[in-house]
Chains A and B, each alone.
Chain A
């Protein structure tokens, strides 16, 4: 259980293109999903917290107009990198927490999306 699917797994596109990444919880409902960015040989850095039915909460230094997040249902959150440039190239990973009352539930991660902007 607690499977998180992320699509696509890899994207290569030209500078100026907008790219949408999907994060789905396959066998559970997720009130909250999280979006991370990971540079080579570095740790995961939280970009934003995606809340179903409300606006996302962005971490300090993350441009909300650059990284658009939509969490329209309890099983789907999307991250759109608008007008992507080479410096946006990175490994983007989503995670989701099982919606189960107030009990502690860990975050389960997708397999990530490798974004390469030429």
Chain B
């Protein structure tokens, strides 16, 4: 089946630093989504990407849909303590009612 490789698995940074994480796949996706999950809660949508090459920002967050449709990255600028959490990428395909395949997650820890 389809799989996503998300890296890094964990990050330990200082407050104020920039963060970068990415996902790659051997399969093509028509949609790339980035979610953040806090402990004991469901994932919250951060950015949705629908076109190859698309670059979208949401405040301090920027994400891009790779031109090959097989990868995506998420950048967070000037990190703050509330950025702590687990970030998941998810790829969606038109087939199968837009089912999502999730990456393994990136656990972000910030030292104040």
User: A interface vs B, CB < 8 Å?
Assistant: 4, 6, 32, 34, 42-46, 49, 51, 57, 60, 93, 95, 97, 104-112, 114
Contacts and interface: CB of A to CB of B under 8 A. Distances in A.
Interface string B7-36: 000000000000000000000001101010
B42 A49 contact: no
A90 to B, nearest CB: 13
Given A32-B97, A104-B31, A106-B33, A43 B103 contact: yes
Contact of B98 (A4, A57, A107): A107
Given A32-B97, A49-B96, A44 B102 contact: yes
Q: What interface size band does chain B fall in?
A: 20 to 34
B104 A43 contact: yes
B45 interface: yes
B88 to A, nearest CB: 7
Contact of A93 (B1, B42, B96, B101): B42
Interface string B71-112: 000000000000000001010000011111111110000000
A23 to B, nearest CB: 10
Contact of A114 (B40, B44, B102): B40
Contacts of A60: 1
A111 B42 contact: yes
B43 interface: yes
Contacts of A112: 40-42
8 contacts: A6-B42, A32-B97, A34-B100, A43-B103, A46-B99, A109-B42, A111-B42, A112-B41
A108 B45 CA distance: 7
B31 A49 contact: no
In the A-B complex, the 4 residue pairs with the closest CB atoms: A109-B42, A106-B48, A43-B102, A111-B42
A44 B104 contact: no
A4 B98 CA distance: 18
A76 B74 CA distance: 33
A51 B88 contact: no
Given A43-B102, A43-B104, A43-B105, A104 B50 contact: yes
Contacts of A44: 43, 88, 102
